[in-house]
Amino acid sequence: MSATNEEILGRADANDLEAILSITNDDMDSIIHAVKDNADAIFTWDYEKGARPALNKLYEKAKGAQWNGETDLPWETAVDPVELARNSVTNAPIDQQVDLTGTCFDGWGEKEWTDLNVEFQNWTLSQFMHGEQGALLCTAKIVETVPWIDAKYYAATQVMDEARHVEVFAKYLDEKLSGHYPINAHLKLLLDDIIEDPRWDMTYLGMQIMVEGLALAAFGFIQQMTTEPLLKQLLRYVMSDEARHVAFGVISLQEYYKELTGPEIRERQEFAFEAAVRMRDRFLQQEVWDRFDVDVKEVVKIVMQAPERQVFQTMLFSKIVPNCKKLGLLDAGDGWLRQRFTELGVIQFEDWTDTGEEYATLDEVSKDREAASA
Ligand SMILES: [Fe+2]
Ligand SMILES: [Fe+2]
């Protein structure tokens, strides 16, 4: 028996806007947020390095690809937040074709749209920063819980990568933009679910495949579009690391899923679906709208209609879907996840490049070093 939407998402209809917007972050003032980590820490006495060659290769690669967030990025670059927002893919998701007469945007001028775009920019980068901290905690957890020594070694390098990512996003927000946003309610719900799950492979599925798969696609999109040199360089380097992280998930789960039964695989499919919906829901950016004098439900409906918005949002699944396919999650059982991804409108990415090997071509850090020493 498969779980219902109600059991997986807490609502019967995945697209129920009222229910989506009713999920809010009601803990904005605390400095810390505690989550129960239900997993056992696992020692292994099998120290044979390279027993899993693909993981060993990834580990050796990661050791040579470390960079320093303080000294390897051009922090002296002056950044104009208004200019940055104007040229951003995250900006005013309102198509010129959409008629705004009689809506809360009626009468909005240059100033209001500019303010909104600056807020979108801050919100987007803040959520990346929070997601990076989620990755930091998840990979520290994987070091403890995964039973394979090659995976513990590799995960330890990812802990360092994620610390650097949190550091550079926080520094960019503090020094170049104007303030942090608290974590989005849907992202928080997802990160909590991933950390609470006692099964070690669920950390990988939630973080490496889903959250990092989305981050890799989003960073790639923004990195290509932005003309701001510091952010561009920051994202190039973060992406080099993220490509390894997603590969780590694909390589590890490919092996582990072979041992699982049909019902166990179904639970992984359901978790992948839940994560996909949470990540889609967060792009309603409800925390931004709360800062403007608008009806959140109304503006969200307008925003959802904008075609470029839909392109950006579906593109975010361009790594997740092929990786789920490679892991056998799309078609396992009766194709349950294929059906769900079809309903979410993202199945068209199934044959795009998966991320098992892509990290080698995305290694911009090594490319820069080779160019500098040539
Ligand atoms: Fe990261
Ligand atoms: Fe990562």
Tens of pLDDT, residue by residue over 219-231, are 998 998 899 999 9
* CA 215–ligand 1 middle distance (angstroms): 8
* CA 66–ligand 2 middle distance (angstroms): 13
**Nearest ligand atom owner, CA of 132:** 1
In this predicted model, what pLDDT tens digit does every residue of 333-362 receive, in sequence order? 999 999 999 999 999 999 998 877 778 888
* CA 135–ligand 2 middle distance (angstroms): 6
- 37 pLDDT higher than 90: yes
* CA 153–ligand 1 middle distance (angstroms): 17
- Of the candidates 190, 180, 58, the one whose C-alpha atom is nearest the C-alpha of residue 135 is 190
Mean pLDDT of 296-306: 82
* CA 129–ligand 1 middle distance (angstroms): 9
**Nearest ligand atom owner, CA of 243:** 2
* CA 60–ligand 2 middle distance (angstroms): 17
- Measure the CA–CA gap between 243 and 219, rounded to whole angstroms: 11
Q: What is the 3-state secondary structure (H, E, C) of 75-105?
A: CCCCCCHHHHHHCCCCCCCCCCCCCCCCCCC
Q: How confident is the model at residue 306 (pLDDT cuts 50, 70, 90)?
A: confident
pTM (2 d.p.)? 0.95
Determine the pLDDT at residue 90: 65
Mean pLDDT of 155-176: 98
- Measure the CA–CA gap between 93 and 304, rounded to whole angstroms: 8
Classified as helix, coil or strand, 371 is: helix
